[in-house]
Structure 1
């Protein structure tokens, strides 16, 4: 399912010439003490090579967007379209995470709120804030400004079917589930328990496939439709 999602990525991120590579899963604020490194997952074309950068920009106020972290990423997508990296731990939100190609020239300390040209080609971006007054710039880059959910999410992932971001504020208990608009969701609506992480495997989904009609009911409905058509002709 993730491979299908990657193939449809072009329509999920507006404002980019190509969006075959997207951020797929990460932990804005992992549970417990801050680790020295953490995982981040991309989704893209199976077997394709990737080379680019991951930036973390401050989002503590509307005039921030200062480069706080910069990690070079190089690898090859697996057969399932996933590529994971261990990166230096991100400073806890508020921040904007930006995935770019290798042409980016921005460096630590650069302030990019009014000019993001040094980021090169932006594949994807997401802003996570820990206060309603903070402002990220993911939306300016064609990405997602995730709504404030009352605290810092511990786990973020894209729904494996819809591609929409989901926040889990407590991924040990699997509670505090929110969509991009800040609407709280019922964890029972997902196909997997929202505990732990799914790096390297299919993300959860809350999509419910259509249930086909029983064959007998289909025949009944067809018969009713035929009878109605006959009456109209009569």
Structure 2
């Protein structure tokens, strides 16, 4: 699980995906005070847990510049992480809320906000090299939480797993570096409103990750 150095990050005005570039520029015109750029990871690369989401929400991370911050998905995610010791403080939906991650890092499979919250396959593939770099630069990684099928398949592609396992809520897969990939339905309002994912179901997933990380040993890190 070695991987010294900092992970590769897309530039602030990344030109790689024309559709996302056009959407980003339109959002800058409409909301010049928003982040409107690729959203960087949050948390220490020394963390043992990596949470992988889909992409920045338009009025969430695309607005605030911090993953899962400013929309409903962040409320469920961060309150659950706090409850299980992967974060500390209070989630206020703003990067200045004082919330801290503990032994946890958060990133998205696609770093720029996509139209209708739906990146296309070419955009997911283009951004995958940044996820590959994340995984390679986390020497203490013990578990990866994939929020939704897109995040799951992005992690599988980044690790070049063959055969490629399908997504299933609660499923676990051992990655080549020995870390465990755990799947969960995404913490979106759509999934919670329809009952596909309940707060209890998500709490069960993070409870299992807490046990897995603790059983793996090594001191946890803050940041």
> Where on the TM-score scale, by shorter chain, does this alignment land: which range?
under 0.3
Structure-1-length-normalised TM-score: 0.25
Whose RCO is larger (CA < 8 A, sep 6+)? 2
Structure-2-length-normalised TM-score: 0.25
More strand per residue: 1 or 2? Answer: 1
Q: Which has the larger radius of gyration?
A: 1
More helix per residue: 1 or 2? Answer: 2
